[in-house]
A and B are shown apart, each in its own frame.
Chain A
Amino acid sequence: DIQMTQSPSTLSASVGDRVTITCRASQSISIWLAWYQQKPGKAPKLLIQKASTLESGVLSRFSGSGSGTEFTLTISSLQPEDFATYYCQQYHSYPLTFGGGTKVEIK
């Protein structure tokens, strides 16, 4: 199984900050990497597929990059509605696997 390692697990930031979350795969997954945002009591929301393709309706302050084993999710200017938990997920092969999550908190 492909292991996904996210860092940091918790991130404290202020509104307007630039935020970067890292995800590492235990083997190459090419670009088959997705990012999700989850708010308390809600289902995960897909933000990015194929490592860098924004889903329709997702604001451009979100961006993804990387390929192979190293990936990043960047929020260029953190907004109040962005405080949430973010997960990466590989879909190179089954079983699909998720990172442990990064909780973005208000500083």
Chain B
Amino acid sequence: EVQLVESGGDLLQPGGSLRLSCAASGFTFSGFEMNWVRQAPGKGLEWISYISGGGGNIYYADSVQGRFTISRDNAKNLLYLQMNNLRVEDTALYYCARDGGYGLTLDYWGQGTLVTVSS
């Protein structure tokens, strides 16, 4: 059974840093591209970052470019999101999501981890 479990969410002040983790199981992690998607309270879904299976290709949304860094450890089946210079508008539930492969999209999602940025 495919499982994605996020962790690391917290309450912090603007300008702070945080690292989120997503533990994957039930599939060959290195064979799948992964993404982070967030959802602000009461709002819609916003894609924020992508990483290829080997980690060589990475994309970011403009809203986080230069502040967030996606990475993965295929030996440990872990996906990360390093978040720096956090802003109030980064407050959201952060989901990791698996890309199902060629011609497919975000087929499995974790339950999310909450990041709150407030002074």
A contacts, CB < 8 Å to B: 32, 34, 36, 42-46, 49-50, 55, 87, 89, 91, 94-101
Interface size (B, Cβ < 8 Å)? 22
Considering only CB atoms, which chain B residue lies closest to A44 in the complex?
A: B109
Considering only CB atoms, which chain A residue lies closest to B59 in the complex?
A: A94
Considering only CB atoms, which chain B residue lies closest to A89 in the complex?
A: B105
Could you say which residues of chain A place their CB within 8 Å of the CB of B106? 34, 44, 46, 89, 91, 96
Considering only CB atoms, which chain A residue lies closest to B106 in the complex?
A: A46
Query: A57 CB to closest chain B CB, in angstroms?
Result: 12
What is the CA–CA distance of A32 and B100 in the complex, to the nearest angstrom? 13
Given contacts A44-B45, A97-B47, 5 further A-B pairs with CB under 8 A are: A43-B112, A87-B44, A91-B106, A96-B35, A96-B50
Give chain B interface residues in 71-119, CB to chain A under 8 Å. Answer: 95, 100, 103-112
**Per-residue contact bits, chain B 53-79, to A (CB 8 Å; 1 contact, 0 not):** 000000101100000000000000000
Contact A43 B45, beta carbon cutoff 8 Å: no
Considering only CB atoms, which chain B residue lies closest to A31 in the complex?
A: B103
Task: Say what secondary structure dominates the interface of chain A.
Answer: loop
Query: B73 CB to closest chain A CB, in angstroms?
Result: 23
Query: B59 CB to closest chain A CB, in angstroms?
Result: 5
Could you say which residues of chain A place their CB within 8 Å of the CB of B35? 96
What is the CA–CA distance of A46 and B95 in the complex, to the nearest angstrom? 14
Which of A42, A98, A101 is in CB contact (< 8 Å) with B47? A98
Contact A43 B107, beta carbon cutoff 8 Å: no
Query: A9 CB to closest chain B CB, in angstroms?
Result: 10
Which of A34, A42, A43, A100 is in CB contact (< 8 Å) with B105? A34
Contact A98 B105, beta carbon cutoff 8 Å: no
List the 9 closest A-B pairs by CB distance, nearest first: A96-B47, A43-B109, A91-B105, A98-B45, A94-B59, A34-B105, A101-B44, A95-B61, A100-B44
Query: A44 CB to closest chain B CB, in angstroms?
Result: 6
Contact B47 A43, beta carbon cutoff 8 Å: no
